[in-house]
Amino acid sequence: MTFFRRSAVFAIVVMLLAVCASGIYLYRVKRNADSVVRIVYELTLNGHPPAIQELRQRFGGALKQNDPCAPDGCDYDLFVSNRVLAAIGLIPYATLRSSFWVKNGVVDASGLEFWSGGGAFYYITVHYCEHCDSFEINPWEASSPLGTGSIEIGYAASTANKRKAIALNTGSHALAWMQQYR
């Protein structure tokens, strides 16, 4: 009888540890995703396009150079995903990718991409040029009703439009507000 009690207590302790570890992991993924979105937004508010040194300072070792630099620039990105919990089947896979195209040490364009195994795909592009003030929303309504779309915004666009464009809510469905434009 004591063997069964000990086994039951051990199983309960292991389950509680697994639940706690999953909760901590999910919290860290959410915190990292929120941080990436916040930093990308803050970079658009600077009085000048960010330099590669600022990206490295802000993102640290998470920022990776994809390939050797081409004559017209270098490509950098970082990923945040919930692959561990998705791999064991607890939640659908989702990833957030932030990418930067750098020319002569200065960011020329950046992208923020959210993809979910549940069918959501959103892409935000920020162009860092002196007179870029565009703000375009493409909800891709006809191609997928599950939640897809893209936003293109210029560096010189208004702060209100930048806030609208980079409004990823990493705690729920990304860019849910885009649904109002359908």
In this predicted structure, what is the pLDDT of residue 175? 40
In this predicted structure, what is the pLDDT of residue 178? 36
Range of the domain at 85: 2-181
* E-state strands within 74-158: 74-81, 94-103, 106-116, 121-127, 135-138, 148-154
Residues of the chain with pLDDT under 70: 1, 118-119, 140-148, 167-182
Torsion (CA) 129, 42, 101, 168 in degrees, nearest 10 = -110
| Counted domains in the chain | 1
| Per-residue pLDDT tens over the stretch 96-146 | 899 999 999 999 999 988 888 766 778 888 888 877 888 887 776 555 555
Query: Is residue 44 within 8 Å of 155, Cβ to Cβ?
Result: yes
Name the packing angle between helices 52-59 and 2-45 (round to 10°).
Answer: 160
In this predicted structure, what is the pLDDT of residue 52? 92
In this predicted structure, what is the pLDDT of residue 152? 84
